[in-house]
Amino acid sequence: MASASGPTGFRAQDHGSTVDLFWNDNSGGTASYFIVYRSIDGPQQTVSVPQGKTVEEVTQLDPSKGYCFRLGAVIPQGSGTTTAFADTSVRGCIAASPAATSSP
């Protein structure tokens, strides 16, 4: 679940071997993002997303498999940071969301 300044509207647009991921940045452009994803039987992958970007294309996916995606937002807050998460999937992925405990 996203915090008040965390990402909302995280969604996927499936194109077979690629998936476009979209979200709303509610941090005023201050958050940096990372995406953790995997198929049900594949290794976990992590992609860093530049600050201020709200779309990412994930490529080289197997069109016959479902994928789960977790978006992590590292948000400056006071003298530290907080991390908020949002989840989405394609092709019926129902496995637990990929674990993401820190930014890459």
**What pLDDT is recorded for position 95?**
53
Beta carbons within 8 Å of 23's beta carbon, 6+ residues apart: 7, 8, 9, 10, 11, 33, 54, 55, 71, 86
Each residue's pLDDT expressed in tens, for the chain with a length of 104 residues: 444 478 999 999 999 999 999 999 998 889 999 999 999 888 999 999 988 899 999 999 999 999 999 999 999 888 989 999 999 999 888 755 455 444 44
Tell me how far CA of residue 61 lies from CA of 27, 45, 54, 64, 65, in angstroms. 30, 11, 20, 9, 8
User: What is the set of domains in the chain, with CATH numbers?
Assistant: 8-90 (2.60.40.10)
Q: Determine contact, residues 83/45, Cβ cutoff 8 Å.
A: no
Cα(64)–Cα(52) distance, integer angstroms: 32
**What pLDDT is recorded for position 97?**
47
